[in-house]
Structure 1
Amino acid sequence: MHLHCYVWTGMGEDLRNEAERRMPPPPEDPAPFLASPLPPMRTCDWLLKPARRIDATFTKVDDALDWLAERYKSAEPSFLAPHAEAAIGLDFRLHLARTSLEGGVDVQWGFWLTGGRFLTCGVVCCPNRQADHRCPAA
């Protein structure tokens, strides 16, 4: 197993555009989903996006956790509700992420930022236990 890491920052209101965030069932056209910069509704569906959307790939859980921690720390000054996030904290988030990834379960973090922006960071297990998607880097 390896781990693909994805990140998106944009206006939170854009997340309402479910048509671009949900892979349509056949025979509908998947082009809007595939071309959209928006994060998918299901974390595993990041694997359907073009390989250029991959921010990093790791074979070790520790490396993926470091990636998550870096994204968290760089966004922390812009958290919309830093006091609420402090109640959860990075250490607890990393503990849960480790448990999930070591069990082959994807991890998705999302944070509201100042100015109506939203940040999402996802680590997706490949191969994936939720969907039979091929590896985008293959």
Structure 2
Amino acid sequence: MHLHCYSWTGTGDDRRREAERRPPLPPADPGPFLSSLLPPMRTCDWLLKPARRIDSSPATSEEALGWLAERYRTAEPSFLHPGDEARIGLDFRLDLARESLTGGVDVQWGIWLRSGRFLTCGVVCCSPNRAADYRCPVT
């Protein structure tokens, strides 16, 4: 198993465009899903997006956790509800992510930011993925 990291920041309203966030059933034309910058509804479906959407392919789970922590800290000044995030805490988030990745389970974080924006960060287990039998996007 190896890992791929993905992120997206955009308006929360954009997330309502679910047709762009769901891959079509074969043999349908993948049109809007593949070309859309929106994050998929299911974390594993990031693997269907073009390889250029991969932010990082860390060698270890610990490196993936570092990537998540960096995204979190970068967004922290813009958190819509900093008090709520402080109660959860980055350490708690990272502990849960570590446990998930160790078990081969994808990790997805979503955080509301000011001005109606939303951040999503995902670490996807690849080859194999527990939720879907997708090929690696970089092979």
Structure 2 residue aligned with 1:85? 85
List runs of 5+ in structure 1 lacking aligned partners: none
After superposition, the C-alpha distances for 1:62-117 in whole angstroms (9 at most, x for unaligned) are 00000000000000000000001111010000000000000000000000000000
Distance in structure 1 (CA, Å) of the matches to 2:27 and 2:136: 22
Residues paired across the two proteins, number: 138
TM-score, scaled relative to structure 1: 0.98
Moved more, 126-135 or 24-33: 24-33
Superposition RMSD on alpha carbons, in Å?
0.6
Structure 2 residue aligned with 1:11? 11
Is 1:117 the equivalent of 2:126? no
Structure 1 residue aligned with 2:24? 24
Report the alpha carbon displacement of residue 26 of structure 1 after superposing the two structures with TM.
Answer: 2.1
Is 1:129 the equivalent of 2:130? yes
Distance in structure 1 (CA, Å) of the matches to 2:100 and 2:26: 31
Task: Provide the secondary structure at the position in 1 that maps to 2:109.
Answer: strand
Distance in structure 2 (CA, Å) of the matches to 1:60 and 1:36: 29
List runs of 5+ in structure 2 lacking aligned partners: none
> Which amino acid counterpart does residue 36 of structure 2 have in structure 1?
S
Report the alpha carbon displacement of residue 28 of structure 1 after superposing the two structures with TM.
Answer: 2.4
Structure 2 residue aligned with 1:106? 106
Distance in structure 2 (CA, Å) of the matches to 1:50 and 1:22: 15
Identity of aligned residues (%): 73
Structure 1 runs of 4+ aligned residues shifted over 2 Å read none
Distance in structure 2 (CA, Å) of the matches to 1:66 and 1:87: 20
